[in-house]
Homo-oligomer: A and B are copies of this chain.
Amino acid sequence: MISKTLERRSGIAIWRQIADELRNEIATNVSVQNNRLPSETTLAKRFEVNRHTVRAALNALAKEGIVESRQGQGTFVRARKRISYPIGKRTRFSDGIGNQVQTTRGRLLNLSIDQATPEIASALYITPSSKVICLKTLSDADDMPLSRSTSWFCAKRFPDIGTAYQTTGSITKALTQCGIADYLRQSTEIEAHHATMADTEYLQLSPGAIVLVTQAINSDMEGNPIQFSTTRFAADRVSLAIINA
């Protein structure tokens, strides 16, 4: 198909560049017939590299659980679906993905009481350097880490949000306990970045992996912002579905 040469001396090993390319083609069903990849020799010819280099790439994909090699037969793709995470006015974690997975879990990693930075203050409509509660959480789906979030709440309005989250394992339920029966997503910004070291640790990713970073503000029904949060998703496990309606 594409016969562009691989870049050497780029800091990314050739076998990993091939792995990235094949992962993409598998995701879009290019050059995959009957769930079977071309043979190692064929791929080596196509990428103009040694067969061992192709094997290193396939080995990496096998470790990710994307393909499976069988001696004498070939290399086959194992179907895996991304979790579709809805983003709209009524975005909620467990509700949104609940029908796609068996179990969801939220864990509190860290709680601290900080002074609001200018950015947080303007998002929450409070005076700069007033007190905010900062919650760092990790969310699992089927015991695979899916995302990690940092949320800020006005400490004066939600003094007990931390303990409420710890007992419920859910922001929505914690807000209910704090008197917020319903809330709306006011804004969302999405970026993509390379995984940081903290990401590779908490989300169980390899270096060079991708995280989808969303920055969101939630408001109560009167339109007052109540939560400002940054969430980092393991990009190869999710697809963000934007709900316009």
Contacts and interface: CB of A to CB of B under 8 A. Distances in A.
A24 B193 contact: yes
Nearest to A20: B194
A244 interface: yes
A187 B242 contact: yes
Contacts of A11: 12-13, 15-16, 19, 56, 60, 208
Contact of A198 (B4, B189, B211): B4
Interface stretch (A138-146, A174-182, A199-207): A199-207
A200 B2 CA distance: 12
A113 interface: no
A224 to B, nearest CB: 16
B200 A212 contact: no
A192 B201 CA distance: 20
A126 interface: no
Interface string A203-244: 000111011100000000000000000000001001111101
Interface stretch (A68-76, A81-89, A98-106, A155-163): A81-89
A211 to B, nearest CB: 8
B13 A200 contact: no
A189 B242 contact: yes
Interface string A1-41: 01010110011110111011101110100000000000000
A207 B88 CA distance: 33
Contact of A189 (B21, B208, B240): B240
Contact of A207 (B20, B186, B198): B20
A29 B190 CA distance: 18
A241 B193 contact: no
A50 B194 CA distance: 23
A217 to B, nearest CB: 10
Top 10 nearest A-B pairs (CB, nearest first) are A11-B16, A11-B13, A188-B242, A20-B194, A192-B235, A192-B192, A4-B197, A190-B240, A12-B208, A192-B210
26 contacts: A4-B197, A4-B200, A6-B197, A6-B207, A11-B12, A12-B13, A12-B206, A20-B194, A20-B195, A21-B196, A24-B193, A25-B196, A87-B242, A88-B244, A185-B244, A186-B244, A188-B241, A189-B241, A191-B212, A191-B235, A191-B238, A192-B192, A192-B235, A210-B210, A242-B242, A244-B244
